[in-house]
């Protein structure tokens, strides 16, 4: 028994439609994967710059730290940590000293560089800033009963060194 001609031609109008769907869908899917990978590389480059800036602040804010300690620490950390994620690194260290009586000064380290890019010619410059208070020695408070001098009973004749002020590190992401 033979089928009518109409029954054999039923799917002919959709012939090749699966190939056409793949032609549209596959490049879109690959573009989304490509953009996601590029965004992840940008984020990692940004993180490398921020971590380098924080390391520079830790070194520069220490009591009696040399002038170039923050810049040197930030560059060394960027070179060891980033391993190609961050190139053309520039570091700037700014110290503001309000004086010990006014609460001390601050150290700000800004690290910028070029992040990895999957697209040739696309500028992926990242810039991160970290800042923190400078460390100053503080005298023990004899009136409140704290410190070695107050416990020994002799005012300010203690042989122990005064404690360091230890405040937290504050980081601000983004460009100024």
pLDDT of amino acid 138: 74
60-109 per-position pLDDT tens digit: 998 888 889 999 999 999 988 767 788 889 999 998 877 655 567 899 99
Nearest to residue 171, comparing CAs of 104, 110, 112, 115? 110
pLDDT of amino acid 6: 53
pLDDT of amino acid 11: 57
Residue spans of the chain under pLDDT 70? 1-14, 16, 82, 99-103, 139, 141-176
pLDDT of amino acid 19: 79
pLDDT of amino acid 12: 63
pLDDT of amino acid 104: 73
Phi and psi for 54 in degrees, rounded to 5? Answer: -65, -40
Q: How far is residue 55's CA from residue 93's CA, in Å, rounded to a whole number?
A: 12
pLDDT of amino acid 48: 92
Q: How far is residue 85's CA from residue 46's CA, in Å, rounded to a whole number?
A: 9
Q: How far is residue 173's CA from residue 156's CA, in Å, rounded to a whole number?
A: 43
Whole-model pTM?
0.65
Q: Is the dihedral of CA 148, 153, 154, 159 positive or negative?
A: negative
Q: Can you tell me whether residue 102 is helix, strand or coil?
A: coil
């Amino acid at each position: 028994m033979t089928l009518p001609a109409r029954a054999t031609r039923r799917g002919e109008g959709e012939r090749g439609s699966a190939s056409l769907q793949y032609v549209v869908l596959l490049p879109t899917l690959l573009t989304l994967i490509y953009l996601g990978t590029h965004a992840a590389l940008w984020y990692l480059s940004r993180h490398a710059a921020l971590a380098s800036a924080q390391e520079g602040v830790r070194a520069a804010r220490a009591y009696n730290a040399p002038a170039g300690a923050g810049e040197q620490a930030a560059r060394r950390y960027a070179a060891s940590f980033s391993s190609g994620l961050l190139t053309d690194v520039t570091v700037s260290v700014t110290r503001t000293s309000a004086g010990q009586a006014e609460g001390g000064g601050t150290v700000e380290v800004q690290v910028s560089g070029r992040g990895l890019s999957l697209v040739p010619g696309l500028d992926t410059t990242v810039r991160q800033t970290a800042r923190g208070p400078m460390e100053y020695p503080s005298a023990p408070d004899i009136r409140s009963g704290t410190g070695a001098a107050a416990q020994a009973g002799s005012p300010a004749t203690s042989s122990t060194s005064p404690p360091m002020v230890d405040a937290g590190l504050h980081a601000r992401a983004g460009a100024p």
